Amino acid sequence: MKMRSKPMFSLLLLTAGTLLISACNASPSTATTAAAAVAAAPAKAIETAPATKALPLVVVHKDPNCGCCGGWAEHMQAAGFPVQLNDTSDMMAVKQRLGIGDGMMSCHTSEIDGYVVEGHVPVEDIKKLLAERPQARGLVLPGMPVGTPGMESPDGYRQAFTVALLGNDGSLSEFSRHE
């Protein structure tokens, strides 16, 4: 009797370890270690059936001393997105170039498949944005709400927050609400 092998699918997991950084104001040595661990991690890939489209690259612009940005990048990697971290000491120039105005800002700014994503936006919202492809510049989550990806609280506390759709004209409208 001849045995046939079944196709095998594998998932490469992040081996750099789980980084638990609760706020962007982590000490520079902690933030640098976290960013280095994420940046040193090999690119992750998911082998899937041929009909499945690969997820786009997430380019994260962040201050080299910010620790919570690495936690958000891990959130994106865990969902299967390839991530590139770009450290810059001039985040204002990045935000100005991408049209992130006053009242919209968070600690990091990302570019994903033609859209801008400001702050600790959950991956579910980003996947919805990419699936619906609205005529807009992207998503914005101002500030750094506790409990968002990269801003997890050790006790599980989570603030309610709203992710806004940033229109091409600079206007903001509700995209999703998280209670």
The answer to whether residues 56 and 113 touch, using CB atoms and an 8 Å cutoff, is yes
Q: What is the mean pLDDT of the chain?
A: 79
Average pLDDT over residues 73-83: 97
Q: What does residue 61 show for φ and ψ, rounded to 5 degrees?
A: -95, 125
Nearest to 26 by CA among 133, 132, 107, 139: 107
Which pTM was predicted?
0.72
Segment 42-69, tens digit of pLDDT: 443 434 334 457 999 999 999 999 889 9
pLDDT, tens digit, 9 for 90 and up, residues 110-151: 999 999 999 999 999 999 999 999 999 999 999 999 999 999
